């Protein structure tokens, strides 16, 4: 009689399971009759299975946070390096511009100090000096 009841219950539950496709579980004592075909988990395995979703979720979140933190640190390092390089480039630019300005000023001062580039004056002066030198030499050696 008990076996028949179990079988009827099992059949009705199986048909329900097929209808709404949700999982089923039960706790079976030693030698107890199961209402449907299924998997029997002991208490350790049950605890493992029940805690598995939260474990995986938490693991995933932890790993995600860790990886995001690492990527953030990598990018921060890259930004820091770029900023440092940018600052150095600005300082180099200022230094080079300063040096070139001072060089230009020195060149301008030097050019002002040099003889003016009056080519006709120099030509005339050269001709006069040449004639004078020739005449002088002539006078000296004569």
> With 0-12 CB in 10 A as exposed, 13-18 as middle and 19+ as buried, what is 111?
exposed
H or E stretch at 42: none
What track of x and - describes contact with other proteins for positions 82 through 121 (by CB under 8 A)? --xx-xx--xx--xx--x--xx--xx-xx--xxx------
Q: Which residues contact 28 (CB under 8 A, 6 or more apart)?
A: 34, 40
Phi then psi dihedrals of residue 38, to 5 deg: -175, -165
- Burial pattern 63-96, b for ≥16 Cβ within 10 A else e, equals eeeeeeeeeeeeeeeeeeeeeeeeeeeeeeeeee
- Give the binding-site size for other proteins (rule: CB under 8 A): 62
- Among residues 77, 118, 123, 124, which is the contact residue for other proteins, using CB under 8 A? 77
**Minimal distance, residue 72 CB to other proteins, in Å:** 9
Rg (CA), the chain: 51
Considering the rule CB under 8 A, would residue 25 count as an interface residue with other proteins?
Answer: yes
What track of x and - describes contact with other proteins for positions 33 through 72 (by CB under 8 A)? --xx------xx-xxx-xx-xxx--xx--xx-xx--xx--
- Which residues make up the interface to other proteins (CB under 8 A)? 13, 16-17, 22-28, 32, 35-36, 43-44, 46-48, 50-51, 53-55, 58-59, 62-63, 65-66, 69-70, 73-74, 76-77, 80-81, 84-85, 87-88, 91-92, 95-96, 99, 102-103, 106-107, 109-110, 113-115, 129, 132-133, 135-136, 139-140
């Amino acid at each position: 009689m008990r076996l028949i009841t179990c079988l009827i219950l099992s059949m009705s539950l199986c048909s329900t399971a097929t209808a709404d496709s949700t999982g089923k579980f039960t706790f079976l004592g030693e030698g107890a009759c199961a209402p449907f075909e299924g998997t029997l988990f002991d208490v350790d395995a049950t605890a493992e299975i029940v805690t598995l979703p939260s474990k995986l979720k938490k693991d995933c979140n932890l790993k995600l946070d860790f990886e995001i933190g690492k990527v953030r640190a990598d990018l921060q390092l890259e930004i820091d390096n770029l900023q440092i390089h940018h600052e150095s480039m600005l300082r180099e630019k200022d230094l080079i511009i300063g040096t070139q300005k001072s060089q230009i000023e020195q060149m301008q001062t030097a050019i002002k100090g040099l003889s003016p580039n009056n080519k006709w004056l120099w030509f005339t002066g050269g001709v006069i000096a040449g004639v004078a030198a020739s005449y002088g030499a002539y006078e000296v050696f004569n």
